[in-house]
Structure 1
Amino acid sequence: MENRGKERVKTYVKKQVVDGEVIIAACDENILGLHLVDENIKANFYVDPYFYKGELLDLEEAVKILATATIGNIVGEQIVQAALEMGLIHPEAVLRIKGIPIALFMRI
């Protein structure tokens, strides 16, 4: 996970285990609470604190937890880039709304 000269923000990570599935919701700290709307692609996405605001961690710790997920919902430049580098998601699976990357994944 390269820094690429940008200041690192922390990552909110919320973990739940349901019927044996490890569900992780994670977002970069600086986008929590944003409401992203793009009329061109008819997208409306809210980075809801109720859903995403879990433990606030350094990216390295967040990635360790994300690696345990069977289902993941991730939003933000840093956490999505980390998931790409780990091979958890394919680049074509990333949706951008107002420039913010969003990705979902499931391990079968």
Structure 2
Amino acid sequence: MSPPADNPCVHCGACCASFRVDFARDELMSEGGTVPDGLAVTVTSHTCRMRGTDHAQPRCAALSGQVGVNARCGIYEWRPGPCREFGMLAPLGRGDAACARARARHGLAPLPG
């Protein structure tokens, strides 16, 4: 399922280029989950991290395009739990505090609250 076209997250990607994304190993395809193994690195025997999100300037390996313009998650339908949950407390199409921090890091104004 793709995100609705009018959802600002579809084109933003600031969170994907701002935060480390750790998730349970059982979310990997090889473990019965949906996240492609090649996009993850092992952190512990129970935890993985999206490749690229642990860099000094994080950028998830699944992110394509330009942040704030035409960014897109290449594995949206298969993304890990933390990505699915990010911003869920904010109403659809509105940012929360973490979203505002990510957008500020990339010189973008916060979404209306």
Same fold, judged at TM 0.5 (above): no
TM-score under structure 2 normalisation?
Answer: 0.32
